[in-house]
Structure 1
Amino acid sequence: MGDIRGAIVVEPVVTKGDRKAFLDVHYQLNAGDPNWVPPLRAEAAEMIDPAKNPFFDHAEVQFFIARRNGAPVGRISAHFDRLALGMPPKQGMGPGTGNWGLFDADSEDVATALIERAEAWLRDKGMTRVLAPMSLSVWEEPGLLTKGHDHPPMVLMGHHPAHYQPWVEARGYTPAKMLRTYDLDIRADFPKLIQRVISSGEKNPRIAVRKVDKSNFDAEAATILDILNDAWSTNWGFVPITDREVAYTGKKLKPLVREDLIMIADYDGEPVAFMMTLPDVNKPIKEIGGKLFPFGFIKLLNWIRKPTNADMRVPLMGVRKHLQSSRLASQLAFMMIEYIRRAALTEYGATRSEIGWILDDNQGMNAIAEAIDARVNKEYTIYGKTL
C-alpha cells in the first residue's frame, strides 16, 4: 500500500510563483515555534534576489522547493562561492567545497529528499564535499542551531527546530566546526582583574579608543573592513568580503548603527582593532510578527529611532593579525567591551548582551568571553560531508 500522504516532488525555483512559495514555506513551517523570529518579508525576498544581493556576484545558487500533493512542504538552497573555492583547504573551504542552506522541512522524508537534491546539484557542478548549512554566506547565517532552542535568536542569527539535527546527521553529516555565542549580564561590573587591565590601558598614551563617526560612515566602514579582513584572514571558514557586500551590508545596518556602540582602537595612531555592537532589532520584529503593514512599520521605525530596553549583540570584532595572541589584543578588547557596556546600560536600558559567534577553537576570544563571566547560550554546528 502506497504512502497516503503522496509522493514528494523536489523542483528548482524558476517562476515568480515558485519564489513566493519558497519564501512562504519558511513562515508556514516555523510559525508554531515560540522562539522563531519571522524575518521582515522584504529582507527575506532581497536575500534570494540575484539583482540585489551581492553574494550572487561571486556565487552560483539554485533554490529548490519540495511539494507534496501540490503543497509546499520544504525548501533548500544549493550553492558554491567562487571566493570560497579559492581559499586554502586547511581553513575549511577550498577547491570543491559547496554548500546548502535556507533549509526547512516538515518531515524527515522531505528533509532527505531536499538534501539529496542539493547534493546532486553540487556534484553536477563539480563539487566534492559539502559544508552546511550556510544561509547563504558564512557572513550571513552559518550553521545549524544545536544548543539554545529555548530562547529567540538575536539580530543576524538563525534559529532552527531541534529535530533538524538528527535529520541532518542521518544523511551522513558530521560536525566540522562549532560556533558559539555568549550571554553576558551587562548590569554587573567586570571582575577586579579585568577592571585593572582596562585602567592600565586608559593610562597608556599609545592607546586611544574612540566611538565611530556616523557622519563619516563610508570611511569608518572602510577602516573596519580593513581590520576585519586582516584579523580574520587565517580563520576557519574565512571568505573575503567584497566592496559591494560592504556597501550593501552597511546600507542595511546603518539605521541600527549607534556611534557609542561601535568602537575603534588605535595604537600609536594606527587603527588596530574594532568592536561592533547592534541593538537587538529582533525583539521588536518578533512583536510585530515580521509584518510591516499596516501598523508594524510605525512601531519598528519608532524603536529604531530610539532603541529602549534594548538587548545588544556583538556580531563582529577584530584585532590586526600582528597583535593577536598578545596582551595588548586582550586589553583592547576589554576596553572596547567596557565602554560599549557602559553606553548600552545607561543610554539604551540594556540588561544583557550576546557576544559572537566565536569559533569553538578560537582560544583567545573564548578566553576573553569567559574572563568577563559570559556564558555560552547558543551553539551552531557547521556539518561536513564528502560527496
Structure 2
Amino acid sequence: MGNDMPLKVNGQRLWDSLIAMDEMGESRPALSAEDFAARALFADWCHQAGMSLDADAIGNLYARRAGHDKDASPVVMGSHLDTRPGGSCFDGSYGVLAALEVVRSLNDADITTTRPLEIAVWINQAGERFAPAMLGSATFCGDVPLLQALTTEDGRGISVATALSGHGGDLPLGRPFAAYFEAHIEQGPVLEQAGLPIGIVTGGQAICWLDVEVNGSTAHAGTTPMALRRDALLGASAMIGQLEKLATEHQPHGLVTVGQLLITAAARNTIPGQVRFTVDLRHPLDVQITAMEQQTRQLLQQVAAQRGLDVSIRRHWFSMATPFDSGCIAAVRQAVTALAYPHQDIVSGAGHDAMNLARHCPSTMIFIPCRKNPAQHQAEYATPDDVRMGADVLLGAVLAQADS
C-alpha cells in the first residue's frame, strides 16, 4: 500500500450493518431489551471479526483486536448504541459500526497494527432513560463515582444496577488508552450547508443547563382582574423573551434554548401559579458561557421582581468547553488530506462521549453531515457516500496512531 493509495473501507458492508442494526429497534433506551439486542448483534459481528469482548462494572462494552505489542495501551474507537426517541440509525451507531468496519477492513488487508485496537460501546449516552447523559463514559473516566452511577434510577425507579444485572464485566474503569477517536453524524446543518462530507472536530462547546421554577398565585380565570394577578406562565413567557434577546448579544456562537416547560396543575380556567422550564446555554468559550449564565440569572430575577413573582434557578449540569488533542486532530487532518476529501474544521455543538474521554486521553472526533430525508422519515439522514468517507478517514487516522 503506497502513500498515494490510502486504505479504504467496504462502504456497502458498513451501510448494510447500519441497516441491520436499525432493525434492533428505532428507539433503544439504555439497558433496555432493545439495547441489549443491539449489543448482542454487535458482539456477534465482533466475534466473527476475530475480536475478544469484555465489559466493565458500569456495562460499557469493549471489543479488542490484538496488536503486535500486546502490552501497549490500545487506540480506541467508539460511540453508543442506545438511541433517543425519534433518532436515526446513524446517531451513535455510526461511530460503533464505522469502528467495526475499520477492523474488518484491516482484516481484509491482513494488516496488524502495533498497538491493539478497541471498540468501546458506551452506555446511556443519549440520557433518555438515566441522567446524566454520557453516564457510561463519565463513570469510566471517574467523573461520576461508580456507586452513584449504579444507584441512578430511571423514571420508573429502576436502577442502573438492576437494569444492568448480568451484563457487567471485569475490565477496570479508567484504564489507559493511547488515543480515542469517535466518528459521528454532525446533528447540525453546518456541513450540509457547506456541501462538505467531513468535519474535523477541534473541540466541543461549553454547556450549561439550568432548571427554573417560577411561582405566582393560582387563581380563577374569570374572577381575578388582570392587575391583581401573579401569573407564573406570563412571567415565564416574559423571561423566555428576554433569553432570546440574550442570545442575540452573544452571536455568532451563543445559543439559548428552552426545551421543556411544565405548568403545574394546568387547567383551562385557572391562572397558572407555578411553571417550571429548562434553559440550555452553549458557547465555544468558557468565559462566554459563564457570562451567559450570570446574565440569565439576572434577567430572570429582574422579570420576577417586576411582576411580583418568585423565581428559583438551579444549575442542573455544566460542562466546560473541550479542546481536542492536537496530535489526534493532526492524524485526522492527514488522513482526510491523503484521501483528498473536502472538509472543514468544526466545533461540536452537541455533547458526546469523546468530550469525557478528552479529559482521560488524547481524543478527537470526525463528523459527517446529516440532513433531513422526509422520504425515509428520518430527521438525521446520512448518505451512503458520506458514511463511507467518514469511515475512510477514521481508518486512516487510527492506523497512523496505532503504528506511531
TM-score over 0.5 for the alignment?
Answer: no
**TM-score for both structures, normalised by structure 1:** 0.30
**TM-score for both structures, normalised by structure 2:** 0.29
